[in-house]
Chain A
Amino acid sequence: MNARTGISRRRLFQLVGGGVVILVGMSPRPLRAQGAQRLYPEDFNAYLVIGENGRVTVFSGKIEMGQGVLTSQAQMVAEELGVALASIDMVLGDTDVCPWDMGTFGSLTTRMFGPALRAASAQARLVLLSLAAKKLGVPVADLVVREGVVFVAGAVDRQVSYGELSRGVRISQVVDEKAVLRAAAQFQVMGRSPARLDAWEKVTGAAKYAADIRLPEMLYARVLRAPMHGATLTQIDTAQAEQLSGVVLVRQPDLLAVLHADPEVAELALGRIQAQWLKPQATLDPDSIFEHLMNQSGPLRESAHQGDVAAARAQASKLFETSYHKGYVAHAAIETHAALAEVRDGRATVWASTQTPFPTRDRVAQRLGLEPKSVRVVTPFLGGGFGGKSADGQAIEAARLAQITGRPVQVAWSRAEEFFHDTFDPAAVVNIVSGLDQQGRVSLWDYAVYGAGERGASCFYDIPNTRIRSAGRPAYDPAASVSAHPFAVGAWRAPGANMNVFAVESQIDIMAAAARVDPLAFRLRHLSDTRMVRVLQAAADAFGWKPMAAPSGRGVGMACSIDAGTYVATLAEVQVDLKLGTIKVLRLICAQDMGVVVNPDGARMQMEGGLTMGLGYALSEELQFRGGEILQRNFDSYAIPRFSWVPAIATVLVKNDELAPQGGGEPSITTTGAVLANAVFDACGARLMRLPMTPERVRQALA
């Protein structure tokens, strides 16, 4: 047993006191998609425990940030194990007791982790059935399970509960990959929409987030921040801050903080520090960034190639050369990054708002000079993540300060710090050259993306001559920030795909309009992928689409995308104020094929949430900066979607029970920018090629 990665069987039984424990030693193959650097451990990790009291405890390295996996994971276990949802306790994101996990992102929980969890639960059911068969003296085939009770078929008085079966036994089993998962047609808990298991806590204020955790003797820290990225400290005077009674000053070469038992005194102390900074010359701004990115991103690398692009270009009867742009976008979760750390007797415990508890554990350990096994990260509820909480600077700061001061320390970023230290969705450029042949079919697709990465860039239309190229590292690659951007960038809900789908689907619409063909008919003419055809048709039907070439003046449009294994199509209706340039979104209809749906209402919430959040990057969100200076530090200047912006949203789940569950957290948001750009063009003939589509840009496009 490798102590780095999980807990031993003995320790597990110490924790749970016996019962049936199902361990997973699955082949890493299906889990490889989580990341190339690190697989699920091949040693054993607990996934679930059936206790002697009949309660089922599920240990999962995934975290709950609003996306609903607390509930959906419990549903998967309840279904495969044959117990009531109410008898399940979930333990999420606690590195001391949960199986190793790379992090919660990429719409991977249900898609990649779900099969392992379901297999473990199905295996547990088999173990319990064989125990019951022995106890009741009948073959397993004669047994049925209902809500944690095993019955002899046809003789309901002969029964035994899971709790009774677990009593006095210490069974640990490794998942047998042959454990058969239940088919969608058999589902009793999956495929339904129970109320979220976290809902009661969240409507009563009982739900704990990282900044809500309190420990005796804790200190609250405020960290001195530079006025801009790249600035260096030249002079500092902390005397006035230190005059405040009870203030603790920590001064390290790269970390200066004032701490106090009262967070408001710590804040006051921070304000009394006088610091001089040397600021670098600022050269980049939201307009000059694009040329810089193209210059700094390195050579284009080809990722897909089919047919003869050069010949198609020479032969095309109509060529379309377009450049698309998008600025930096903030995550702007309403909960800022927060952590509480305690270092005692050579062990550190960190309660952190993090999407990546295990990598955070390893980074904290490295920074503190401890073994990873001496660090425990506990993850309370997250007040939104969206990729931004894969960055864990606050946890490192809190852990360092706790180690230095010997007291528990909370670091909770202010909103200004949150904007300053965010890992932004990067600005990006897409250049497309496409062409129609004499029959009006797309014959050429030459695609180049700078800065966004390739997610969402692949072409699912039938085009004989295509080339897809990309320059620069995707945002979630740590090297991306160093290379071209004036501040940190990182994964932002469906990283890169929002930009790529905006470009792809705008370009398709441009060609449909030039060919004077209805955009739905134009797409269908180039689609042989039956999943996409079904999804697009379902969205169009729900919308009540009437064919007409754009611009029709109706303000309607569509966009489709494939993301996280899910197929999605969105239709929109908008109104454009020609004088003001404002865009009012009237309705959004979104259809999605995500394979088996674990929790339909939960899936719809993610679809609605993605579309709504997407209104921001589509219409208003663009970080203002001057070099490394972040000019927006709060919601008064950085506008995220509000109630009045939200249109009537309807969602359609296209049934596909033949396919295992696919991703749900990100697909819908990838379509928002494109569908609105296409609807705006249909409304007024103005083609917006830069996101966000601000009123000023709409007016310029109309002029």
Chain B
Amino acid sequence: MQASIRFRLNGQPVALQTDDGRMLLGALRSELALTGTKYGCGEGACGACTVQVDGHAVHACTTSLKQVQGKEVLTIEGLARDGKLHPLQQAFIELGALQCGYCTPGMLLRAEALLRENPQPSRAAILARMEHHLCRCGAQQRIVQAIQSAARQMGATA
């Protein structure tokens, strides 16, 4: 259904006149011109398109625009603030927790949501939360280490 969709995207208000049944992923990558959110499977099975809606990690490929009406959407482009990387981004760089980098934006947004909910997650809690994110390069071990490292870092500076 054609509708006026308004939400905040990385802190800025946006308004779209469009079919509200469309998925967020398409809108982000087309008219909103934010290509950091990636297509991987189109059905919520790989995690590459993960963004946050009101602080919760969701798959942009299965989240409709109707569902983000009036909400706060965070994509990878909004994770660093004022040119300063988030501790998770810093940890991913320092620990080499990426190779091709294609799954990285989704991984970071899922991990950020996890650390806000559970600032010192156990290894098991990290695995459980990241389980549905696929990384074909095989960086999983370093991704877990990077999340643990960022959690320590954030705990120390909190």
Known contacts A384-B137, A609-B138; is-contact A204 B96 (Cβ 8 Å):
no
**8 A Cβ contacts from B81-104 to A:** 85, 89, 92-94, 96, 98-104
- Measured between beta carbons, the chain A residues less than 8 angstroms from B37 are 205
Docked Cα-Cα span, A245 to B141, in Å, equals 49
Say yes or no: B99 contacts A67, CB within 8 Å: yes
Say yes or no: B131 contacts A644, CB within 8 Å: yes
Say yes or no: B41 contacts A203, CB within 8 Å: no
Determine if A242 is an interface residue (Cβ-Cβ < 8 Å).
Answer: no
Q: Which of B41, B102, B108, B136 contacts A634 (CB 8 A)?
A: B41
Say yes or no: B76 contacts A646, CB within 8 Å: no
Say yes or no: A641 contacts B138, CB within 8 Å: yes
Say yes or no: B92 contacts A199, CB within 8 Å: yes
Residue among A68, A195, A601, A635 with most chain B CB within 10 A: A635
Say yes or no: B137 contacts A66, CB within 8 Å: yes
- Which stretch (A149-157, A331-339, A653-661) binds chain B? A331-339
Q: Which of B33, B79, B103 contacts A334 (CB 8 A)?
A: B103
**Nearest neighbor of A67 in chain B, beta-carbon distance:** B99
Proximity bits, B42-55, A CB within 8 Å = 1, else 0: 11011010000000
- Measured between beta carbons, the chain A residues less than 8 angstroms from B33 are 214
Determine if B58 is an interface residue (Cβ-Cβ < 8 Å).
Answer: no
- Which stretch (A174-182, A281-289, A517-525, A610-618) binds chain B? A610-618
Residue among B37, B98, B137, B142 with most chain A CB within 10 A: B137
Known contacts A415-B40, A635-B45; is-contact A383 B100 (Cβ 8 Å):
yes
Known contacts A199-B93, A611-B138; is-contact A205 B99 (Cβ 8 Å):
no
Determine if B117 is an interface residue (Cβ-Cβ < 8 Å).
Answer: no
- Measured between beta carbons, the chain A residues less than 8 angstroms from B22 are 264
Proximity bits, B120-156, A CB within 8 Å = 1, else 0: 0000001110111111111111111000000000000
CB distance from B104 to the nearest CB of A (A): 5
Docked Cα-Cα span, A636 to B132, in Å, equals 10
Known contacts A66-B100, A263-B30; is-contact A203 B108 (Cβ 8 Å):
yes
- Measured between beta carbons, the chain A residues less than 8 angstroms from B3 are none
**Nearest neighbor of A649 in chain B, beta-carbon distance:** B141
Determine if A311 is an interface residue (Cβ-Cβ < 8 Å).
Answer: no
Interface size on B, residues (CB 8 A): 56
CB distance from B114 to the nearest CB of A (A): 12
- Measured between beta carbons, the chain A residues less than 8 angstroms from B29 are 212
Known contacts A195-B93, A634-B43, A646-B140; is-contact A263 B26 (Cβ 8 Å):
yes
CB distance from B59 to the nearest CB of A (A): 12
Residue among B35, B46, B94, B99 with most chain A CB within 10 A: B99
Known contacts A264-B22, A264-B26, A381-B101; is-contact A612 B42 (Cβ 8 Å):
no
**Nearest neighbor of A642 in chain B, beta-carbon distance:** B131
Q: Which of A196, A204, A335, A611 contacts B85 (CB 8 A)?
A: A204
Say yes or no: A644 contacts B127, CB within 8 Å: yes
- Measured between beta carbons, the chain A residues less than 8 angstroms from B35 are 205, 208-209, 211-212, 214
**8 A Cβ contacts from A198-244 to B:** 198-209, 211-212, 214
Docked Cα-Cα span, A110 to B45, in Å, equals 35
Determine if A262 is an interface residue (Cβ-Cβ < 8 Å).
Answer: yes
CB distance from B9 to the nearest CB of A (A): 13
- Measured between beta carbons, the chain B residues less than 8 angstroms from A172 are none
Q: Which of A206, A211, A214, A613 contacts B137 (CB 8 A)?
A: A613
**8 A Cβ contacts from A380-397 to B:** 381-386
Known contacts A336-B39, A611-B138; is-contact A382 B104 (Cβ 8 Å):
no
Say yes or no: A202 contacts B39, CB within 8 Å: no
Say yes or no: B38 contacts A66, CB within 8 Å: no
**Nearest neighbor of A612 in chain B, beta-carbon distance:** B138
- Measured between beta carbons, the chain B residues less than 8 angstroms from A39 are none
- Measured between beta carbons, the chain B residues less than 8 angstroms from A209 are 35, 38, 102
Say yes or no: B77 contacts A65, CB within 8 Å: no
Q: Which of A68, A211, A263, A634 contacts B45 (CB 8 A)?
A: A634
Known contacts A205-B76, A643-B127; is-contact A65 B100 (Cβ 8 Å):
yes
- Measured between beta carbons, the chain A residues less than 8 angstroms from B128 are 644
Known contacts A214-B33, A264-B26; is-contact A610 B138 (Cβ 8 Å):
yes
Q: Which of B42, B100, B141 contacts A414 (CB 8 A)?
A: B42
Determine if B36 is an interface residue (Cβ-Cβ < 8 Å).
Answer: yes
Docked Cα-Cα span, A233 to B92, in Å, equals 49
CB distance from B131 to the nearest CB of A (A): 5
Known contacts A202-B98, A205-B77, A641-B138; is-contact A334 B30 (Cβ 8 Å):
no
- Measured between beta carbons, the chain B residues less than 8 angstroms from A635 are 41, 45-46, 134
Q: Which of B80, B126, B136 contacts A384 (CB 8 A)?
A: B136
- Measured between beta carbons, the chain B residues less than 8 angstroms from A609 are 99, 137-139
**8 A Cβ contacts from A353-387 to B:** 381-386
Proximity bits, A449-493, B CB within 8 Å = 1, else 0: 000000000000000000000000000000000000000000000
- Measured between beta carbons, the chain B residues less than 8 angstroms from A414 are 42
Q: Which of A201, A211, A608, A644 contacts B138 (CB 8 A)?
A: A608
**Nearest neighbor of B90 in chain A, beta-carbon distance:** A203
CB distance from B105 to the nearest CB of A (A): 5
Say yes or no: A383 contacts B93, CB within 8 Å: no
Docked Cα-Cα span, A65 to B98, in Å, equals 11
Docked Cα-Cα span, A202 to B131, in Å, equals 21
Q: Which of A196, A383, A602, A643 contacts B38 (CB 8 A)?
A: A383
CB distance from B134 to the nearest CB of A (A): 6
Known contacts A67-B99, A643-B131; is-contact A613 B136 (Cβ 8 Å):
yes
- Measured between beta carbons, the chain B residues less than 8 angstroms from A538 are none
Docked Cα-Cα span, A262 to B75, in Å, equals 21
Docked Cα-Cα span, A613 to B46, in Å, equals 15
Determine if A412 is an interface residue (Cβ-Cβ < 8 Å).
Answer: yes
Say yes or no: B85 contacts A334, CB within 8 Å: no
- Measured between beta carbons, the chain B residues less than 8 angstroms from A640 are 134, 136
CB distance from B36 to the nearest CB of A (A): 2
Say yes or no: A202 contacts B101, CB within 8 Å: yes
Docked Cα-Cα span, A610 to B134, in Å, equals 15
Determine if B68 is an interface residue (Cβ-Cβ < 8 Å).
Answer: no
Determine if A605 is an interface residue (Cβ-Cβ < 8 Å).
Answer: yes
Say yes or no: B131 contacts A203, CB within 8 Å: no
**8 A Cβ contacts from A394-415 to B:** 412, 414-415
**8 A Cβ contacts from B12-33 to A:** 22, 26, 29-30, 33
Known contacts A605-B96, A644-B127; is-contact A334 B102 (Cβ 8 Å):
yes
Determine if B115 is an interface residue (Cβ-Cβ < 8 Å).
Answer: no
Q: Which of A207, A263, A601, A642 contacts B101 (CB 8 A)?
A: A207
Say yes or no: B34 contacts A205, CB within 8 Å: yes
Docked Cα-Cα span, A611 to B43, in Å, equals 28
- Measured between beta carbons, the chain A residues less than 8 angstroms from B102 are 66, 209, 333-335, 383-384
Residue among B29, B104, B127, B130 with most chain A CB within 10 A: B104
- Measured between beta carbons, the chain A residues less than 8 angstroms from B136 are 332-334, 384, 386, 613, 640
Say yes or no: B141 contacts A203, CB within 8 Å: no
Docked Cα-Cα span, A635 to B103, in Å, equals 14
14 A-B pairs within 8 Å (CB atoms) are namely A66-B100, A66-B102, A203-B93, A205-B35, A212-B29, A214-B35, A334-B100, A336-B39, A383-B103, A414-B42, A415-B43, A605-B96, A609-B137, A635-B46
Q: A203-B98, A335-B102, A605-B96 are in contact. List 14 more A-B contacts (CB 8 A).
A: A66-B100, A195-B93, A205-B34, A209-B102, A212-B35, A214-B33, A334-B40, A415-B40, A602-B96, A605-B142, A612-B140, A634-B45, A635-B134, A642-B140
What is the interface of chain B, defined by CB distance below 8 A to chain A? Answer: 22, 26, 29-30, 33-43, 45-46, 48, 75-77, 79-80, 85, 89, 92-94, 96, 98-105, 108, 126-128, 130-144
